[in-house]
A = this chain, B = another copy of it.
Amino acid sequence: MTSHFSLSRRHFMGGALSAAAFNALSHSAHAQAEATQHQPGIVTPQQPYIYFLTLDLPSDQKADLIALMKQWSEAATALMAGQARPDFPSPHEVASLKGAHLTLTFGFGPSIFLHDGKDRYGLLSRRPAALADLPHFNGDQLIAARSGGDLCIQSCADDPEAAFYAVRVLIHLAYGRVEPRWSQHGFLPHYSKTHTPRNLMGFKDGTINPNNHSPQEMRDIVWADPTACPWMAGGSYLVARQIRIALEHWDNMNVPFQEQTMGRQKYSGAPIGGTREHQPLTLKETDKDGNLLTAETAHARLAAPEENGGAQMLRRAYSYNNGLSYIAERWPPWRQGNEFDVGLLFLAYQKDPRTAFTKLFEKMAKFDMMNQFTTHIGSALFACPGIAPGRYVGATLLEE
């Protein structure tokens, strides 16, 4: 389902023709949905490394935004193909991109549509209803400097330097025309193509993810509804949350307590009382005293679709490690000091955040036992449109 941008330089330079073809096809939302391609890096099997960056735009001119997205789409095509260009810094490093399965995914934040109360690009009428600002969740401790952004770049690869290098090139090409806002690089601990990755808490993470090889599941869960917002045909909505994990505190808990908190067994990933990772959660089973095997407040229960009216999203989370930070802990003995600044860059793609992330997390933010060990410190939301054949990313939004 996922395809890399097919824009060769030649195709791109022939944009006028492609636009005509595109317009002919876009007479209905359905036709447009058929004609657009998905951006890579959404249902692409998760590569082990990410460099994620958001940025703000100093210019209020829509033409500047269009020029930027054209330039980036073209450069992204070259980078994903491992092609060096004279305007790339350290162009010999492009060689390292070959075989790294680099994907570059771009998103548009709510501030593209409304910034300090101003419709700066004249796009407000095109803002998708699904791109509603996220509500304040219980326990949120959001840092402005780690939240939001006019645009995002998600760069994923099999090699951490390839993921960073691609973003470095894009920022270099846009020197003086963009203001980087926040970034986070991440990784999948103990990555393997054949096993569910573990997070830094030592548990398998992503067991219940939908099947990204199933077009039907992806249509139901990931891809935006083109009738609700035609320019988002073939696109998806990205929720990004930076979630700090109090690792020293977690490491002081014994494994049975950790398992009760998670609602799964640590080594096998099996449900409590189960034997296999991929068997159904033990949501109704009780022990001999009549107590639920999987606690009411266990993380896995609160995240389960069957407990949330079927709400689902495609998780693409990465662990992060930012060294040490001075932390004031939120639990006894309320320790203050330099602690590991580690956690999860939670990324999730979905058809509509209002009925997926927001619905799921509103309950979890209140009841999840895991909240003793996790704090949401950053939040952002992006619309990642599909690509009309031969056009740049964002053409469907920026050119009617």
Contacts and interface: CB of A to CB of B under 8 A. Distances in A.
Interface of A: 53, 89-90, 92-93, 96, 160-161, 164, 168, 171-172, 175, 179-185, 187, 189-190, 198, 201-202, 247-248, 250-252, 266-267, 321-324, 337-340
Nearest to A335: B176
Nearest to A171: B248
B321 A89 contact: no
B172 A251 contact: yes
A181 B251 CA distance: 19
Give the 7 A-B CB pairs with smallest separation, nearest first.
Answer: A90-B202, A89-B251, A183-B323, A180-B338, A172-B251, A183-B324, A161-B189
A26 to B, nearest CB: 37
A83 B359 CA distance: 44
A218 to B, nearest CB: 30
A190 B161 contact: yes
A201 B90 CA distance: 8
Contacts of A183: 323-324
B338 A181 contact: yes
Nearest to A56: B338
B202 A89 contact: yes
Given A180-B324, A182-B323, A267 B337 contact: no
18 contacts: A89-B250, A90-B251, A93-B202, A96-B190, A161-B190, A168-B340, A171-B248, A171-B340, A172-B248, A175-B248, A175-B252, A179-B338, A180-B324, A181-B324, A182-B324, A184-B323, A322-B322, A322-B323
A359 to B, nearest CB: 31
Given A160-B187, A161-B189, 14 more contacts: A89-B250, A90-B201, A92-B266, A92-B267, A161-B190, A168-B247, A168-B251, A168-B340, A171-B340, A180-B337, A181-B324, A182-B323, A182-B324, A185-B323
Tally of this chain's copies: 2
Contacts of A92: 202, 266-267
Contacts of A180: 324, 337-340
A185 B319 CA distance: 15
Scoring A89, A175, A181, A250 by chain B CB atoms within 10 A of each residue's CB, the highest score goes to A89
A93 to B, nearest CB: 6
A263 B175 CA distance: 27
A274 to B, nearest CB: 18
A92 B267 CA distance: 7
Contacts of A324: 53, 180-183
Contacts of A250: 89
A90 B301 CA distance: 22
Contacts of A90: 201-202, 251, 266
Scoring A93, A321, A324, A339 by chain B CB atoms within 10 A of each residue's CB, the highest score goes to A324
Nearest to A319: B161
Contacts of A184: 323
A242 to B, nearest CB: 11
Scoring A92, A179, A201 by chain B CB atoms within 10 A of each residue's CB, the highest score goes to A92
A56 B121 CA distance: 53
A338 B56 CA distance: 11
A114 B247 CA distance: 32
Contacts of A201: 90
Scoring A90, A201, A252 by chain B CB atoms within 10 A of each residue's CB, the highest score goes to A90
Contacts of A161: 187, 189-190
Contacts of A198: 93
A385 B252 CA distance: 31
A147 to B, nearest CB: 13
A252 B267 CA distance: 49
